[in-house]
């Protein structure tokens, strides 16, 4: 029974997985591994999992919130980026999306929500009103939320298109892939998204009684 017990408690290492000598403990010869086994660093796996599981908290106060809801629809498929799970509890989210203007009375609420979020946390300022006040140049409107909370990504537009907001989310993902998880007391990224999508008006076909009706403008142009 002694040889059997020795074999059970000391199984032989598979080819290519055993340690290569006492001086190389913790290292493996990747050339001997099968083709279906990949090696990487633990921090890269953590960064990949973190960037692919962002939990946004929408703070929508104006028309930018409509575009934010459109971004979360099935047409744009935020699940591709792992950010489709919207959370309305700051303790369960790590990405704050401020969409719309913020007044002086609302700012303490926004600050309290930001302070309750878990670390690491990121902030996206969506739209001109959240970033600079926009057209609301008044005493009651905050002229940029970065005066009170740190902002990582500025998404321009009035309101921004869903594609531009997705660019902002991808900018945070690229930062996590490149630099990993930030430590406490980090500085905001201060990234500005450059919109690379220029929408062009497309004619919408009108169907009446199963027949497609041409718009009046096209009928006049054809005549």
Which domain CATH number covers 140?
A: 3.40.50.12280
Same domain, 172 and 70: yes
Same domain, 22 and 123: no
Same domain, 56 and 143: yes
- List per-residue pLDDT tens for the chain, 223 residues long: 455 444 444 544 444 444 344 344 455 555 666 777 777 777 778 888 888 889 999 999 999 999 999 998 888 888 888 888 888 889 989 899 999 999 999 999 999 999 999 888 899 999 999 999 988 988 999 999 999 999 999 999 888 999 899 989 988 888 888 777 666 666 776 677 766 555 444 555 555 666 665 655 555 455 5
Q: Position of tokens 């459109």?
A: 70
How many folded domains does the chain comprise? 2
Rounded distance between C-alpha atoms, residue 112 and residue 90, angstroms: 9
Q: How many Å from the N-terminal Cα to the C-terminal Cα in the chain?
A: 100
| Ramachandran bin of 100, using left for φ above 0, alpha for ψ from -120 to 50, beta for the remaining angles | left
In the chain, alpha helices (H): 2-9, 42-51, 64-71, 107-116, 128-132, 162-179, 216-222
Same domain, 131 and 79: yes
- Cα torsion 94, 99, 104, 106: sign: negative
Same domain, 74 and 27: no
Q: Is residue 106 a contact partner of residue 61, using CB atoms and an 8 Å limit? A: yes
Rounded distance between C-alpha atoms, residue 96 and residue 59, angstroms: 7
Q: Is residue 131 a contact partner of residue 143, using CB atoms and an 8 Å limit? A: no
């Amino acid at each position: 029974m002694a040889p059997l017990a020795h074999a059970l408690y000391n199984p032989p290492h598979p080819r290519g997985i055993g340690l290569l000598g006492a001086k190389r403990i913790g290292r493996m010869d990747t050339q001997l591994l099968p083709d279906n086994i990949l090696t990487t660093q633990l921090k890269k796996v953590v960064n990949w999992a973190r960037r692919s599981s962002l939990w946004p908290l929408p703070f929508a106060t104006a028309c930018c919130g409509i575009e934010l809801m459109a971004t979360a629809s099935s047409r744009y498929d935020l699940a591709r980026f792992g950010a489709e799970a919207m959370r309305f509890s700051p303790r369960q989210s790590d990405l704050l999306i401020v969409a719309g203007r913020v007044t002086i009375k609302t700012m303490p609420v926004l600050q309290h929500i930001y302070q309750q979020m878990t670390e690491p946390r990121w902030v996206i300022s969506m739209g001109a009103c959240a970033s600079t006040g926009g057209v609301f140049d008044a005493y009651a409107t905050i002229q940029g939320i970065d005066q009170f909370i740190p902002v990582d990504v500025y998404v321009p537009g009035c309101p921004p298109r869903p594609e531009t907001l997705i660019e902002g989310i991808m900018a945070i993902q690229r930062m996590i892939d490149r630099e990993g998880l930030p430590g406490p007391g980090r500085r905001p990224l201060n990234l500005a998204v450059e919109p690379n999508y220029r929408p062009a008006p497309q004619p919408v076909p009108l169907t009446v009684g199963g027949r497609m009706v041409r718009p009046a403008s096209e009928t006049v142009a054809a005549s």
